[in-house]
Amino acid sequence: MNETSAQRDKKLPPKVSGAKADMGHMEEFSANFGRFMMRANAECGELAEFNMAGQETVLMSGPEAQEAFLKTLDNKLSRAASYQATVPVFGKGVIFDAPPERMKAQLKIQVNALRYQNMKNYTAVINQEVEDWVADWGDEGELDFLDEFIQLTLHTATHCLLGADFRNQLTDEFKSLYHDLEAGLQAIAFVDPYMQQPVFEARDKALIRLQELISEIITERRKNSDKEYGDALETFMAGSYSDGSLLSDNEITGLVIATMFAGHHTSSGTATWILTELARHPNYSDEIVTELQTVFKDDGTITLESLREMPKLEAFIEEVLRLHPPLVLLMRKVMEDIDFKGTLIETGKTVAISTYGSHRNPDYFPDPETFNPARDKPDNLYAFIPFGGGPHKCAGNAFALMQLKAIISVLLPRYTFELVDPPETYQDDMSAMVLKPTGPCRLRYKKRQ
């Protein structure tokens, strides 16, 4: 591409040191996303350009840069172009593979699936799932809670999205298929999701089989069209485009899978970190138990309304989300040249923001590596961004928070939790885009007296 005189006159972002001739910064980036981006920010400032196996990427750090990233619309900074790695996971024609108007319609239908009335139903579903989970725990024991929460949130997500009938028939095959699908979202997938890799072959086979399984449910429901289900699948099947046409079976399946990622993929890791931090900080645990006992002093029923009356638990969860954000980074593709404070970010490059790095900015979070639920919130909305922000803030954030609070509201008043292994062994796993603890994550539980 030939430079224009305007481009020549503009300052370009500084480049991060340490790039290798063949893969740029990909090796360091893949080893630890978060720490690499913190190094890039420390070395270069608000804008830092690095190389992901040939893809020139500009990290935008600090609340001003992050606000610019999150508020710029898709015609300039495209989500779809950056998240093509999700296409073989969600399926062709779904969300980031759909034309702009159809993508907008699909995302609106997805938001409708998380409307208030459905959320009330989901609260009861999640509460029952947790009750069933702990029913045979006994007075004390030891579990790998990362594995346990992966299973629990898969159960809650399938129950809320696909209904009780499917949840009650949930098979090991479905769990295995979903695992293969998740594994397809590795760092290298954001460079080329179609390269010859065993993990990508397993991903593609899993999607085909999941489409078959979910299509069977859709077909069965169409035979019983008068029945009301109150779940997300019902919303997806009723959704339509501006011309009145309904979503295809594959589009419905893709939306189910995409929404499951919001309800399961990120929540399992966050739930594990909440319980781990409660075990690390029993003084906060006692405060939250007292709060929960006050909220549920009447009949103990967990409702959507009661989950909104927990400031201490909410503050604790927010501090977990600060130190262990669900997604390490968010990305966009530059579709038109961007000017940020006199620096040119050129068309064709990728831009990224790091939730992990932002939440460790000492200007907004003093002593950032210390876990402190009592810390003051920063005045700038774009310093704390666990669910993104602006017009594209994560649609599933309300569902995720409701699910996390419901789980803890059942567990904490009944059991105390302790670390089994040395505290320093409980670390973030930086090998994938979604942040979770390194496994196993073993905790010991004991019934409260």
Ranges of each domain in the chain: 5-447
What pLDDT score was predicted for residue 327? Answer: 85
Examine the pLDDT at 73 and tell me if it is beyond 90. Answer: no
Percent of the chain scoring above 70 in pLDDT:
96
What pLDDT score was predicted for residue 1? Answer: 45
Q: What is the DSSP string of 263-323?
A: IIITHHHHHHHHHHHHHH-HHHHHHHHHHHHHHTSSS----TTGGGS-HHHHHHHHHHHHH
Mean pLDDT to the nearest integer, 233-238: 92
Mean pLDDT value across the chain: 90
Better pLDDT: 114 or 311: 311
Examine the pLDDT at 340 and tell me if it is beyond 90. Answer: yes
- What does the pLDDT look like over 153-187, one tens digit per residue? 989 988 888 888 788 877 888 889 988 988 888 77
Examine the pLDDT at 134 and tell me if it is beyond 80. Answer: yes
Examine the pLDDT at 79 and tell me if it is beyond 60. Answer: yes
Taking the CB of residue 282, how many other CB atoms lie within 10 A of it? 12
What pLDDT score was predicted for residue 390? Answer: 82
Scan for tokens 């899978």, then name that residue: 257
Q: What dotted CATH number matches 5-447?
A: 1.10.630.10
**Cβ contacts of residue 283 below 8 Å, gap of 6+?**
none
pLDDT band at 144 (very low <50, low <70, confident <90, very high): very high
pLDDT band at 231 (very low <50, low <70, confident <90, very high): confident
Mean pLDDT to the nearest integer, 420-449: 90
